[in-house]
Copies of this chain bind each other. A is one copy, B any other.
Amino acid sequence: MRAVVMHAPRDVRVDQIDKPTVEEPTDAIIRVTAACICGSDLWPYRGIEDVDGPTPMGHEYIGVVEETGDDVHDIRVGDFVVGSFVASDNTCEICQAGFQSRCIHQVMMGSVGTQSDYARIPLADGTLVKVQGEPTPAQTKSLLAASDVLGTGWFAAVAAEAGPGKTVAVVGDGAVGLLAILAAKRLGAERIIAMSRHADRQALAKKLGATDIVEERGEEGVARIKELTGGYGAHSTVEAVGTRESMMQAIHATRPGGHVGYVGVSHGVELDGLDLFFATVSLLGGPAPVRRFLPELIDLIMTDQIDPGIVFDLELPLERAAEGYQAMDERRATKVLLTL
């Protein structure tokens, strides 16, 4: 089968590799109908993370179940399914508490690869959620977004306790930051401040629910947020970048007693304990437990209440994946959808 393989930084190819097979009785094999390129795939692409030999890429996916192991009971061959970037049993105490991304039996889908014709999904019953009905093309895109960027943005907004009466600041204008805006709006936030200096993303941020735009960054951005909030800072801040600057911007933009939801995969971040101590904000983040939100998100998508698929601004056949990586690296695309 075809699979996107990263051989080295900036060297992404579509190779022929073996079709996956059921390895564990809890596995399912799906025929991937669409996948996408993630902002986090850019870390190895840019050489910031090591590429340890040829690596099958991808961890976002929708598809149709082709085969199931003997211990798969809820998911059936022929089901159209959405899963998240972490396979989880959905039964352990951590999953039951809503933190499936840290399931005691977790398997990172990035170690499996989903930018390919087929993918092996471990713990299929816990991981996959069946979509009822026949999605339209727009809904299909949105379901793919639910697999990671929407689910991650949603978690960030929930972790930041976005809700009625709240002012929410969003640091990061990538797909996750943009969809955190959508989430904050759905969760009832009163005011949503997008921190962005790119006109196209500002426009999308407003379309998704942002009420204010702040172009300044770092401590200047913090000062602007304070100015917009009577000197107090935001109640809720989403961090969707993963650098030290963005984390400090998020923490300092938040009022004491407020909440920061951080989902940017942390790179080179060191937090000063005393700074954090006197910020007196709640911090919750990490790999998003997308599985917690999938049933609700699928329902919102299939009833046309949300349209997160609009973050995809470049659609390419799998064969041209390398162009997609390049476009995202050069910020010519926010989010690339790969069709199969």
* Contact of A104 (CB < 8 Å), options: B231, B272, B287: B231
CA distance A287 to B279 in the complex (A): 9
A276 at interface (Cβ–Cβ under 8 A)?
Answer: yes
Interface centre among A273, A274, A282, A289 (most CB of B within 10 A): A273
A269 x B272 contact (CB < 8 A): yes
Bound complex: CA of A266 vs CA of B266, how far in Å?
22
Cβ-based interface call for A255 (8 A)? yes
Chain B residues positioned under 8 Å from A98 (CB to CB): 257
Partner of A99, one of B230, B256, B273, B286: B256
Q: Are A266 and B256 in contact (CB under 8 A)?
A: no
Do A286 and B278 have beta carbons less than 8 Å apart? Answer: yes
Which chain B residues lie closer than 8 Å to A101 at the CB level? 256, 280
- Contact in complex: A271, B274 (CB < 8 Å): no
Say whether A283 faces chain B, with CB atoms less than 8 Å apart: yes
Q: What are the interface flags for A84-102 relative to B under an 8 Å C-beta threshold, 1 for contact and 0 otherwise?
A: 0000000001100111011
At the interface, yes or no: A72 with Cβ under 8 Å from chain B?
A: no
Q: CA separation between A305 and B262, bound complex, in Å?
A: 40
* Chain B residues, Cβ within 8 Å of A242: 273
Per-position binary interface string of chain A over residues 272-307, scored 1 when its CB falls under 8 Å from any chain B CB and 0 otherwise: 111011111111111101000000000000000000
B94 touches A255 (CB 8 A): yes
Interfacial chain B residues near A266, Cβ < 8 Å: 273-274, 276-277
Complex CA distance for A250 and B271, rounded to whole angstroms: 16
What CA separation (Å) do A277 and B286 show in the bound complex? 4
If A269-B274, A273-B266 touch, does A257 touch B102 (CB 8 Å cutoff)? yes
With A93-B230, A94-B257: A273-B280 Cβ-Cβ less than 8 Å: no
Complex alpha-carbon distance, A269 and B274, angstroms: 7
B272 engages A280 (CB within 8 Å): no
Top 9 A-B pairs, shortest CB-CB distance: A269-B273, A102-B256, A266-B273, A280-B286, A99-B257, A271-B271, A282-B284, A266-B277, A283-B283
Known A102-B256, A271-B271; 13 more pairs at CB < 8 Å? A93-B255, A94-B257, A97-B255, A97-B257, A99-B257, A101-B256, A104-B231, A270-B270, A271-B273, A276-B285, A277-B286, A280-B284, A280-B287
Q: Contact residues of A with B, CB < 8 Å?
A: 93-94, 97-99, 101-102, 104, 230-232, 242, 244, 247, 255-257, 262, 265-274, 276-287, 289
What are some 16 contacts across the A-B interface (CB < 8 A)? A93-B255, A94-B232, A94-B257, A101-B280, A242-B273, A247-B273, A265-B274, A266-B273, A266-B276, A266-B277, A267-B273, A269-B274, A270-B270, A277-B285, A282-B283, A283-B283
